[in-house]
Homo-oligomer: A and B are copies of this chain.
Amino acid sequence: VSALKKAKRFRVHIFLATSKIHLKYKFKKKEEEILELAKKATRLTRNLCEDIEFSPEDATRTERDFLFKIIETAIKEGAKTINIPDTVGYSYPQEIYSLISDILNNVVNINKAIISIHCHDDLGMAVANSLSAVLAGAKQIHCTINGIGERAGNASLEEVVMAIKTRRDVFVDSYTQVNTKEIYRTSRLVSTLTGFIVPPNKAIVGRNAFRHESGIHQDAILKRRITYEIINPKEIGIEKSELVLGKHSGRHALAKRLKDLGFKLGERKIDLIFKKFKELADKKKEVFDDDLIALVEEEIRERKKLYELVSVRVTTGTDMIPQATVRIRYKRKNYQATSFGDGPVDACYKAIDKITKIKPKLISYKLEAITKGKDAQGLVRVEIFYKGKNVMGSALSTDILEASVKAYLDALNKII
């Protein structure tokens, strides 16, 4: 709690499992013991912090009477928000609706707290469940960008927000303060940083969410957008700009475009991005908005770069063993190693391992051409496992091997 003192508004969230399954197998405790624990924990916290959120974990599998009792206790001890978690993503909208209604009707002091909802997506219903809770009277939703979270993840922020906005007719009393124009860019940034790819058929932020393929749909869309589109892509920050920047574009045009894309960047940052933009424009004929967003993302992620790539050279082919020479800068000195491998990336990574002597385990490797055309930039994301921890790394380049090496070094820089 003392660590929170610097926060403008701070809240402590206590959670305690209440379902029979969790009581029996996780805690090996009786209901009365859990109730006593909830009381003590809330009281203790109340002396340190005014704003307490209390979650009866696995609430959707908890017996109603016990659930009412524990909520009443938490509120009595000072909890101001009662969060209802569907911890294992087991529930469906009608059930959530009746659960929230029952809590509102049966917990005597419920008017002293607001109800929150926390849904997991194990059966694919996290968003619908969250919204159903709101219809029943919940005032707060736990959600995450791109729906990331434990297992199948949590309710996705972009879907929740856009549903509330699109169905104003239904959610008359609800609102969010999310600036929807930041949604697309934020989703992209989170995807880059976490290595969780957004599939093309993801609602709101997927590549195809506003793409119409069938002839019937295309024809109707051309006649009138609302025939098959309930959200204007501009609302979530997807600009269908036709303005293309190229190697003859100047710093001013770039700065304006970055501003139009919603980035607020200082002069120094713009200079840095302009330099990278020029390098890119020399390699690519057209620099698209997606290219620029990717460049800014690279720039934003300022990390200590202990290992830095100096150069890499690879020779590979079907009739030979792939071979790589990598040169790395580490604490002002250059190190170089050569290695064979099963493939060119493997050869590079083995050469790096020779230099660093760290040898982590490679868990996953993904490469995506995130911009259009053959001269697209490739985004490589790697996940490595070292001393009990999973670490992600990512990097961008028009050369997939350069990106692969940089992504690996990015991950290594996080573990050393």
* A-B contact sample (17 more), CB < 8 A, given A21-B227, A309-B318, A313-B318: A25-B220, A26-B224, A90-B167, A90-B230, A92-B132, A92-B167, A121-B203, A122-B230, A128-B128, A151-B211, A152-B208, A312-B318, A313-B316, A315-B315, A343-B375, A345-B400, A364-B368
Q: With a CB–CB cut-off of 8 A, which chain B residues contact A226?
A: 21, 25
A320 B313 Cβ-Cβ under 8 A: yes
A318 B123 Cβ-Cβ under 8 A: no
A382 → chain B closest CB, angstroms: 9
A218 → chain B closest CB, angstroms: 11
A224 B89 Cβ-Cβ under 8 A: no
Q: Size class of A's contact patch?
A: 35 or more
B210 A201 Cβ-Cβ under 8 A: no
Task: Tell me the nearest residue of chain B to A164, going by C-beta.
Answer: B123
Say whether A415 faces chain B, with CB atoms less than 8 Å apart. Answer: no
Say whether A168 faces chain B, with CB atoms less than 8 Å apart. Answer: no
Q: With a CB–CB cut-off of 8 A, which chain B residues contact A146?
A: 201
Chain A positions 304-321 with a Cβ under 8 Å from a chain B Cβ: 309-320
A224 → chain B closest CB, angstroms: 4
Q: List 17 A-B contacts (CB under 8 A).
A: A25-B220, A90-B230, A93-B94, A93-B128, A95-B170, A123-B204, A123-B230, A146-B201, A148-B201, A150-B213, A151-B201, A151-B210, A151-B212, A197-B197, A315-B315, A343-B400, A367-B400
- Residue with the greatest number of chain B CB neighbours at <10 A, chosen from A125, A147, A159: A125
Q: With a CB–CB cut-off of 8 A, which chain B residues contact A219?
A: 26
Q: With a CB–CB cut-off of 8 A, which chain B residues contact A399?
A: 316, 318, 322, 342-344
Docked Cα-Cα span, A322 to B313, in Å, equals 10
A342 B283 Cβ-Cβ under 8 A: yes
B314 A203 Cβ-Cβ under 8 A: no
A344 B201 Cβ-Cβ under 8 A: no
Say whether A217 faces chain B, with CB atoms less than 8 Å apart. Answer: yes
B196 A200 Cβ-Cβ under 8 A: yes
A93 B132 Cβ-Cβ under 8 A: yes
Say whether A228 faces chain B, with CB atoms less than 8 Å apart. Answer: yes
B400 A92 Cβ-Cβ under 8 A: no
Say whether A74 faces chain B, with CB atoms less than 8 Å apart. Answer: no
Q: With a CB–CB cut-off of 8 A, which chain B residues contact A202?
A: 152, 199
Partner of A230 from B89, B162, B230 at Cβ < 8 Å: B89
Partner of A398 from B94, B346, B378 at Cβ < 8 Å: B346
**With A25-B220, A374-B350 as contacts: A128 and B162 at CB distance below 8 Å:** no
Task: Tell me the nearest residue of chain B to A158, going by C-beta.
Answer: B124
Say whether A356 faces chain B, with CB atoms less than 8 Å apart. Answer: no
A88 B343 Cβ-Cβ under 8 A: no
